[in-house]
Structure 1
Amino acid sequence: MAIKSSITVHPLEDQPLGAELRNADLENLNETDFEVIRRALYTYQVVLFKGQQNLSPKAQYELTRKFDPLVTTYGHGKTLDAKRSVLHPDLKTIPHQPQVQVIGNGPVASYEGLENITLKHPHHKTFHKTSISEEDDRDNTRFYRWHIDAALYALNPPKVTTLMAVSVPKSAPQKLRYDDGSGDELVVPRGSTCFASSETTYDLLSDTDKEFARGTRVQYHAHPYIWMSGARSRSHGLGMESDGLELPDSELPPIEQEKIAILPMCWKNPVTGRLALQVHPSAVEKLYLSDGTVIDDLKEVREIVHRLQRPGIAPEHVFPVDWDEGDIAIFNNHAVLHSVTGRFAAGEVRIFRQCNLAASEPPAGPE
C-alpha cells in the first residue's frame, strides 16, 4: 500500500504566486512527503513552512540537496572570498555546514559556531545610481537587486534556494518605490524578500517577443559580481545603468573562456513544462540570437533584457514575504527573480539562513 503524505498544500490568497505547506517534518522527510513538496514548488514557485525554529543547518542543507542529490557545492563556490565582489559583505559561512550562509543585520555574539559577527543588510544606496533621501529612508524603500542565485561562471545555477528566518525584528511596513517614472509603488513588510515569477514574465510577452526569447541565448560576463562592482543599478533594482563603470577584464581574476556561462533565455519547468524568461539582468553581457546575430553592445543588451523583464515586476506580480521567526521558504531558482528590501534601525538584529547548491546540470531550455 502506498504511503500517503500528511502534508497539505494551501495556495496563498491574494498573492500572484506561492503556497504554504503544512504538517511537514523537514528534519525527517520521507520520499512521499518530498514528492508533495517538489510538485508544490514547481507549481507555485515559492513554498513556505511555518514554525520551523528547530530546523538544523544540516537538515536545511539536506532538504536543499534533495532537489539535486548529485551536488554538494555552495552555489556561488568561492566567489564570496573575493573582497571586491558585490556579494562579499552580505553573507557569512556556517563553519560546520559550509553550504549554509548566514545573512541579516546587526551584531551577533554567537550563532552556529560564528562568534562576534556583524551582519549587514543590503541597502540600495550602496548599489543604485540614485537613492532615497536620508529623511525619507525610514518609511520608504526600493528593491535592492532583482536576481537569481547563481555564480554564472564555472558553476551551474542552483535549482532551488532555501531561506530560513531565525530572528525577525518587527516594525512598521515601508512604501516601496520604483522611482523610474512609472509611478509604481507598493507597501511591503520591513525587510521583506520579494519574489516575481519569470514564468509570468514570459507569459506577458507578445508572441513576437516569446519567439525571440525562446531562440536567444544569454552570455554572462566572467566573474560577474566583481565585474559589476563599480557600476550602479537602475532605481528599481532590475539591471544596471550603462555608464561604463564595469571593471575591465585586466582587473578581474584570471578568465577561463570555457567557464563563461552561456545559457538559454528561457528555462523549462521540469514538472509543468512552462517556460520562464530567466535572466540575471545585472550580469548579462551578450545575446546570441537564433539567426546567428550576436548583440554585444552592452547598453543595447541591457535595454533589450530590461524591456522584456520589466512588466514581470509590476506591483501586481510581486509577492512580498512577511517573515515570522521559524519560517522557511523554498523557491524555484530557475523560475523566479527575488530581491531583498528595506532598512533596519540601529539595534534591530535580524538573522536568516540561506542555502543553495550549484546544479549538477545546466538549466533546460525550451527544446
Structure 2
Amino acid sequence: MAIKSRITVHKITPPKDSTVDFGAELRNANLEDISEVDFSVIRRALYEHQVIIFKGQQSLSPKAQYQLTRLFDPSVQAYGHGKTLDAKKSILHPDLKTIPHQPQVQVIGNGHVAEFEGLQDITLKHPHHKTFHQHPISEGDDRDVTRCYRWHIDAALYDLNPPRVTSLMAVQVPKTEYQTLRYDDGTGDELAVPRGSTAFVSSYRMYDLLSEEDKVFARTTRVQYAPHPYIWMSKAKSRSDGLGLVSECLELPHSELPPIDDSKIKILPMCWRNPVTGKLALQVHPSAVEKLHLVDGTVIDNLEQVREIVHKLQRPGIAPQLVYAVDWEAGDLALFNNQGVLHSVTGSFASDEVRIFRQCNLAASEAPLSPE
C-alpha cells in the first residue's frame, strides 16, 4: 500500500479587489526530515502555486533550509549569485551577510545584531528605494508610503544559471502596520501592503496578459544580460515603479568592469517553461537586460529602446490587483519559484528596528526550460 503524505495544501485567500491567482500555505510538513513522498507534494505545490509558505518554522536550522532548497536541484551547491556578493561595487554587496557554517545561506534584514549563527556584531540594512530610485518619495511621507524597491529574479545572470528556487526564512520580524505602496508612474496605481512585505507577481500571468502578437515576440526573443550586471548598473537609477532602470548613460562601460569572458555572458529565452504545468512565464530581470536578440537575427542594442520594450511587456503584470504582498510573521518559511515569479522588497525600517531573515538559493545545474 502506497504511503501518503500528511502535508496539506491550502490556497491563499487574496484580499478584497485582488485577482491574485497564486500562493499557498502547506501544513503538517516536517522540514528537518523530508521523505520522498513529502517532497513530491512540496515540489508539485511549488510549481502549481509559485509561492508556498510553511508557518511555525522557528526551529528550522540553516542546514535544513539549505538541504530543502537543494532538493529542487540536487547536483548543485553554489550560492546563486556566486562571487557577486563579494564585489565592492556590486549593488548587492551591502544587503547580504554569509552564515559561516552554511555559506549557501545568507542573512538579510535590518538593525544591529550582536550575534547570529556565528556572525558577530553585524549591522543589517533593509534596502530603501531612496538609494536606488531616480525620484524617491519625500522624507515626510516615508513612514506611511513605500515603493517596490526593485522587481527582479534572484540570479547572477553572468556565468551561473538562474536558481530554480529561493527559500526565505523570517527569523525576527518587527511589529508591522500597513503602508501605501505607490507606483508614482502617472497611472495613480497604489495598494496597501504590510510594512516590509515581500511583493510577488506571477510571470505566468504576465505572459497571459500579452496580446497574441506580443506573445509571439516573447516566445521567439532572447534576452542578453550585461556582464557583471550588478556592478554594471551600480550608478544607474530605477523607474518609480521599480520595473527596470532609467536610461541616463550611467551604466559602467565594459572597460571598467571586472574581466569579461564572453562565453559567460547570459543570453536566455524571454519565456521560461514551468517544469510541471508547462505554462510559459515572461521571465526577464528588467534592470540587468542589455540587448534583445530577435528571431530574424536582428539584435536590438539601443539600451533605451530595449528597456522600453521590456517595460511595455512587463508593466501590465505588476498591476496592484496582481501583487501578492506577504505579511511576514516570525517562523514563516517561504519557497518561491524563482523561474516563474518576480519579487521586490518594500517598506522601510528605523535603525533600531531589528529584522532578521535567512535566504538561500543555488545556481541551477541547467538553463531554464525554453518555450519550445
CA shift, 1:171, in A, is 2.6
> Which amino acid in the other structure matches residue 284 of structure 2?
V
CA shift, 1:33, in A, is 0.4
1:218–1:284 Cα contact (<8 Å) kept: yes
Number of matched residues? Answer: 367
Q: Is 2:357 the counterpart of 1:352?
A: yes
1:233–1:239 Cα contact (<8 Å) kept: yes
1:125–1:131 Cα contact (<8 Å) kept: yes
Q: Is 2:6 the counterpart of 1:6?
A: yes
Other structure's SS at 1:195 match: strand
Unpaired stretches in structure 2, ≥5 consecutive residues: 15-19
Deviations 1:277-296 (A, max 9, x none): 00000000010111111111
Q: Distance in 1 between matches of 2:269 and 2:245?
A: 20
Structure 1 stretches of at least 4 aligned residues deviating more than 3 Å after TM superposition: none
2:110–2:351 Cα contact (<8 Å) kept: no
Q: Report the counterpart of residue 340 of structure 1 in structure 2.
A: 345
1:16–1:318 Cα contact (<8 Å) kept: no
CA shift, 1:270, in A, is 0.3
CA shift, 1:143, in A, is 0.2
| RMSD between aligned residues | 0.5
Deviations 1:135-166 (A, max 9, x none): 11010000000000000000000000000000
CA shift, 1:345, in A, is 1.9
Q: 1:251 aligns with which of 235, 252, 256?
A: 256
Q: Is 2:167 the counterpart of 1:139?
A: no
Normalised to the residue count of structure 2, the TM-score between the two structures is 0.98
Alignment of 1:276-287 (within 5 A): 276-287=281-292
Q: 2:266 aligns with which of 251, 255, 261?
A: 261
CA shift, 1:346, in A, is 3.0
Q: Is 2:193 the counterpart of 1:170?
A: no
Q: 1:150 aligns with which of 150, 155, 173?
A: 155
Other structure's SS at 1:98 match: coil
Q: Distance in 2 between matches of 1:171 and 1:99?
A: 29
Q: Distance in 1 between matches of 2:149 and 2:307?
A: 18
Q: Distance in 2 between matches of 1:364 and 1:251?
A: 33
Q: Report the counterpart of residue 232 of structure 1 in structure 2.
A: 237
Other structure's SS at 1:61 match: helix
Other structure's SS at 1:95 match: coil
CA shift, 1:313, in A, is 0.3
1:16–1:316 Cα contact (<8 Å) kept: no
Q: Distance in 1 between matches of 2:90 and 2:45?
A: 34
CA shift, 1:16, in A, is 3.2
Q: Distance in 2 between matches of 1:163 and 1:49?
A: 10
Other structure's SS at 1:169 match: coil
Q: Distance in 2 between matches of 1:124 and 1:346?
A: 16
Q: Report the counterpart of residue 205 of structure 1 in structure 2.
A: 210
Q: Distance in 2 between matches of 1:80 and 1:16?
A: 33
CA shift, 1:188, in A, is 0.4
Q: Distance in 2 between matches of 1:118 and 1:105?
A: 7
CA shift, 1:75, in A, is 0.2
